[in-house]
Amino acid sequence: MYELNEEKDPAVLGPFELLAVLGQGGMGRTYLGRRLPLDNLGPELETGYHLTEFTESAQPALAAVKVIRPSKLRDGSEHSEEEARARFAQEIETMRTVVGARVPALLGADADAELPWLAMDYVHGPTLHKLVHTCGPLAAGPYGALGLALVDALRAIHGAKLLHRDLKPGNIALGPDGPVVLDFGLAVLTERDSAAALTRTGVGFGTPSYMSLEQARDTKHVTESADVYSLGAVLFFAAAKRPPYPLVPMPTPPKWDGVYGPCLPLLGRILVQVPEQRPSLDEIENDLRQLLADHGLTEETAADQLRLLVAESGLVPELPAKALSDLPDPDIQQAAQQAVNQGAAPDSPWVPDLFDEFLEAEAVDLEPVDVPAEPAPGPAEHVPTVVDPDARPAPGAGAPLPAQPTVTSYHLAPPQPLAAPDPAVAPAIALRAAERLRRAYAHSGRL
């Protein structure tokens, strides 16, 4: 996390005060921000910014504000920048449909701004990639808590008829409330070449070490099962401190050396290269609960163990002092409010005219890297984020299979029935379900 460059960084983007720089890449810059409590914003700006309902909380609500260079919206075809921005806005609206405690809420966006931006919940914690490389493979409790959180995240994404397509340890943040899956669509919107199209079929989008064989062959024609495979690859990393394959997916089983024994049965069922043979999210959830039960752990205890591991890792970044304040900078608040009162956008006093020049230099990640970098993504061609209704197995992947015994890439013992839930834990499960509903309605702005 770095201080703002007062000469080049804007102080405000849309209605978000910028507090620090989180990182920089080929697409632009990511800031730590906070929503300004502005009066008289007006329905036109409210709608144009795709803003969720503004609510004040006991703790400062922070946002990750991602700026996209306008040139990155162009698709290298006959489409104009205006058309590209319109499609960008449509995809932003689609992203708003993903609601869940394990995915960050879209807080606002502006595809028509001079510097197109979008803001999502900021997750204050390290990535899974950094945690495992620093602390080593996860024990059963943190491992089970991680897996259950990822299942919830994929349920939310798939429930909105979307695919993630780039689930990997670097896209999983470990915040104070547990794991959160990032970039379920931002990977498509903000991590591609300038020549990539917003609407054309892509080939090879994703990170090879964590993608399935069918996705490596044909990114467009994949189903939710491709994300399930990536979930298994992430869990393999959490258990072994390495991906199942070092470079690209292979039709042969991965090497199981060094993988924590109790994790092998589940991973063996997921990491198979025929999509129809992989377990469902419900089956994975049951296996993870059984793993915790076998170790005498409840879901709550496992989640606490993961939070403690993160807190003691020394990897949680220190927030700047002004991010801990309950109030925005009074000068920034006044200038933004004055602009709104005069009928302008709140960021109009700070709209820079040098951002493209600022980022023309070779893109670098500003945050110091003290762990091995993840494998680079594949060719950054755009693919639709919406599930293709005509999705089919990639060539060579095999036709849909009839019901058959469990297929696995690891020799398994006969499966054991799931242990009956502990009656003492049942009230906690009910409370957790109620909390999920409350957060879902909060995200949708209905409360």
pLDDT of residue 352: 60
The encoded tokens of residue 391 equal 């999705």
pLDDT of residue 74: 63
Q: How many CB atoms lie within 10 A of CB 388?
A: 15
Residue 111's nearest CA partner among 78, 84, 149 is: 84
Using CA atoms, how far apart are residues 327 and 321, in angstroms rounded to an integer?
11
Q: What's the mean pLDDT in 211-215?
A: 93
Q: What's the mean pLDDT in 185-199?
A: 40
Reported confidence tier of residue 190, pLDDT bands at 50, 70, 90: very low
Reported confidence tier of residue 368, pLDDT bands at 50, 70, 90: very low
pLDDT of residue 389: 47
pLDDT of residue 356: 53
pLDDT of residue 41: 86
Share of residues in the chain with pLDDT > 90 (%): 42
Q: What is the pLDDT of residues 87-145, one digit of tens each?
A: 777 777 777 888 889 998 889 998 888 778 889 999 999 999 999 999 999 999 999 99
Reported confidence tier of residue 442, pLDDT bands at 50, 70, 90: very low
Beta strands in 164-285 (DSSP E): 172-175, 178-181
Give every strand in the sheet of 28-35, ordered side by side. Answer: 12-13, 16-25, 28-35, 62-68, 117-121, 106-110
| Single-letter code of the amino acid located at 393 | P
Q: Regarding predicted confidence, which is higher, 305 or 83?
A: 305
Q: For the chain, what is the mean pLDDT?
A: 78
DSSP 335-377: HHHHHHHTTS-TTGGG--S-HHHHHHSPP---S---SPPPPPP
**152 catalytic residue (yes or no):** no
Superfamily of domain 1-124+318-352: Phosphorylase Kinase; domain 1 (3.30.200.20)
Between the ranges 223-237, 370-384, 395-409, where is the mean pLDDT highest?
Answer: 223-237
Min mean pLDDT across 5-9, 91-95, 225-229, 318-322 is at 91-95
| Single-letter code of the amino acid located at 57 | S
125-316+369-416 is classed CATH 3.40.47.10: no
Min mean pLDDT across 53-67, 299-313, 324-338 is at 53-67
Of 110, 166, 183, 227, the catalytic one is 166
Whether 174 shows a pLDDT value over 70: the answer reads yes
Q: What is the pLDDT of residues 383-417, one digit of tens each?
A: 334 444 444 444 444 444 444 456 677 655 444 44
Using CA atoms, how far apart are residues 286 and 145, in angstroms rounded to an integer?
12
Using CA atoms, how far apart are residues 191 and 187, in angstroms rounded to an integer?
5
pLDDT of residue 410: 64
Reported confidence tier of residue 353, pLDDT bands at 50, 70, 90: low
Q: What's the mean pLDDT in 192-205?
A: 40
Q: What's the mean pLDDT in 69-85?
A: 67
Whether 424 shows a pLDDT value over 70: the answer reads no
Q: What's the mean pLDDT in 227-246?
A: 96
Whether 426 shows a pLDDT value over 60: the answer reads no
Spans of all domains in the chain: 1-124+318-352, 125-316+369-416
- Cβ–Cβ < 8 Å for 244, 208: no
Q: What's the mean pLDDT in 145-174?
A: 93
> Does the fold of domain 125-316+369-416 match that of domain 1-124+318-352?
no
Q: What is the pLDDT of residues 3-42, one digit of tens each?
A: 888 888 889 999 999 999 998 876 678 899 999 999 988 8
DSSP conformation class of 8: T
- Cβ–Cβ < 8 Å for 42, 383: no
Between the ranges 266-275, 357-366, 438-447, where is the mean pLDDT highest?
Answer: 266-275
pLDDT of residue 336: 94
Whether 270 shows a pLDDT value over 50: the answer reads yes
Between the ranges 69-73, 188-192, 260-264, where is the mean pLDDT highest?
Answer: 260-264
Q: Regarding predicted confidence, which is higher, 437 or 288?
A: 288
DSSP 266-308: HHHHHS-S-GGGSPPHHHHHHHHHHHHHHTT--HHHHHHHHHH
pLDDT of residue 191: 35
- Cβ–Cβ < 8 Å for 148, 289: yes
Region of residue 165 (phi > 0: left; psi between -120 and 50: alpha; otherwise: beta): left
